[in-house]
Amino acid sequence: MGIIAKWFFKTGFLLMFVGALLVGIRRMRWPGHLPGDITWKVGSSRVIIPLGTTALIGLVLTLYYSLSKHHR
C-alpha cells in the first residue's frame, strides 16, 4: 500500500473516532455512567470505579494500535 493510502486510512480512522467521540460526549455523562462502571455514595462523598470506561478506552486504543501496526 502506498504512503498516501496509509495516510488517508489513518486520517479517516482518526476523523471517525473524533466524530463518534463528539457525538457520544453530548449524549452521556461520564466517567461513571457507562455500563460496567461502579458508583456509590459514602456519606457526602461519591466513589466511582470506571471499569466500563476503562474497557472502552482500552478497546479503542488497541484497535488503533493494531490497525496502524499492520498498515505500515
At residue 44, the pLDDT reads: 93
Q: Cβ–Cβ contacts within 10 Å for residue 21, how many?
A: 10
User: What's the pLDDT tens digit per position in 14-71?
Assistant: 888 888 877 776 666 655 677 888 888 889 998 888 888 888 888 888 887 887 766 5
Q: How far apart are CA 20 and CA 63, in angstroms?
A: 15
At residue 68, the pLDDT reads: 74
At residue 1, the pLDDT reads: 62
At residue 71, the pLDDT reads: 55
Q: How far apart are CA 48 and CA 29, in angstroms?
A: 13
pTM above 0.85, yes or no: no
Give 5: exposed, middle or buried? Use CB within 10 Å, 0-12, 13-18, 19+: exposed
Indicate the domain borders of the chain. 3-70
